[in-house]
Amino acid sequence: MLVALGVLTYYVAPMAFIYKNYTLFFFILNFILILMILGLAFVSILLLPYVEIMFVKIFILIMRGDKNLYQVVRKNLQGHESRNTKTAMMFTIALSFLIFAGSTFELIGHLIIS
């Protein structure tokens, strides 16, 4: 798979640009961008438990009176871990799709103007 992506990126995309096959060139660029967005979404999901713990610890540092709730919140996060992961994955992919669609429309707008 990685070899195919390397060939696509380093040989096919420049050849498509040189031979003025812009549809193939932009398809390859969009494909690579989508794969990068999905990769970053999966990396962010891997980091989700650590970010949750960090937020809980920051909250406990700010609100020292609620220090007794730390164990309750940790158990709640562990109990709902699968649901939190699914929700975070849906949110991350939806947000990344919106960013991707906005950048694509911006690119198309500049392409039409030029």
**Average of per-residue pLDDT across 46-67:** 88
Predicted pLDDT at 19 = 93
Chain mean pLDDT for the chain: 86
Residue 1 above 80 pLDDT?
no
pTM of the complete model: 0.66
Asked if 107 contacts 29 with a C-beta cutoff of 8 angstroms, the reply is no
Give dist(CA 48, CA 21) in Å, integer.
Answer: 41
48: Cα within 13 Å, side-chain hemisphere: 21
Predicted pLDDT at 8 = 86
Per-residue model confidence as pLDDT tens digits over 9-52: 899 999 999 999 988 998 898 888 888 888 888 888 888 889 88
